[in-house]
Amino acid sequence: MKKMINGSIVLSAAVVFYGCSFCGGYCSSELGWISPIASPLEDSAVFEKGVWTLSGDGVLTASKDSALWLKGDYSDFVLDLEYKLDPAANSGVIIYASDVGHWIPNSVEVQLLDDYADKWKNDPPRLKNGGLYGHVGPEKSCGKPAGEWNRMTIWARGDHVKVSVNGVVTVDEDLSRYTSAKTNPDGTDIKPWLSKPLAGLPKHGAIGFQGRHGGASPYFRNIRIRQLAKDEKF
């Protein structure tokens, strides 16, 4: 079903994942998956005009640091995509965003970073590619060098968030452990702008893609999403 909130159409989760009227050419051939990005881009996403572009071969990119948001409210999902980064790029995939106008600190960000760049080589693990930005470092660094395509999969159900990059699990975390806005469970300090504990964030919300942050662009393609089955393990 569609709901009107402040003059905007918001799609319920049922329509986002399964409603045939929504799919209308967006659906994957695999049962349960949909491709939420379509042309014209304005029909499937909310973004600052003139910033994001979708190429004819399905590559999504941005010219400045302004996020793009999929239409809808998402919970209990698997998000699968490919991404590549310009040299020294610093971007992210955003989930559970409850306020897209002020998504920091009202969301969880899965970090995208050119770990090979000298600019970031001294960053601590919790700021590295494939981690949960500012909180959880990747168990293993497995991103490819700038200019090469990577595959990322994100599973999210309530406090359980899992991430893989190029088939390797980088995060498998229980957000309920993150009860402080000052210090992570491992004792590391949290950036002051991440001022809300992960444990207290709503476990549903918008899904977004950070734009050209840090002076270098990210690129996305083959974005698809499906709802987790009730008893599905991940």
177 in Cβ contact with 186 (< 8 Å): no
4 inside domain: no
**Long-range contacts of the stretch 22-31 (C-beta < 8 A, 24+):** 28/224
Rg, C-alpha atoms of the chain:
17
pLDDT tens per residue across span 22-44: 233 344 446 799 999 999 999 99
What are the phi and psi torsion angles at 17 (to 5°)? Answer: -95, -35
pLDDT tens per residue across span 87-131: 999 999 999 999 999 999 999 999 999 999 999 989 999 999 999
Q: How would residue 11 be classed by pLDDT, with cut points 50, 70 and 90?
A: very low
Lowest-confidence range among 12-16, 114-118, 139-143?
12-16
133 inside domain: yes
Q: In what order do the strands lie in the sheet with 52-54?
A: 52-54, 60-62, 218-227, 77-85, 150-157, 160-165, 168-174
Nearest C-alpha neighbor of 15 from the set 69, 74, 100: 74
pLDDT at 6: 37
pLDDT tens per residue across span 167-179: 999 999 999 999 9
Q: If you average pLDDT over residues 198-220, what whole number do you get?
A: 96
How many domains, in total, are found in the chain?
A: 1
9 inside domain: no
Provide the token pair at 195.
Answer: 């001022």
**Residues sharing a CB contact under 8 Å with residue 202, sequence separation 6 or more, in sequence order:** 96, 98
164 inside domain: yes
Q: If you average pLDDT over residues 158-185, what whole number do you get?
A: 98
132 inside domain: yes
Structural domain boundaries enclosing 144: 40-227
Provide the token pair at 99.
Answer: 């306020």
196 inside domain: yes
pLDDT at 62: 97
162 inside domain: yes
pLDDT tens per residue across span 46-67: 999 999 999 999 999 999 999 9
- Percentage of the chain beyond pLDDT 70 is 87
pLDDT above 60 for 159: yes
CATH code where residue 187 lies: 2.60.120.560
26 inside domain: no
pLDDT at 31: 76
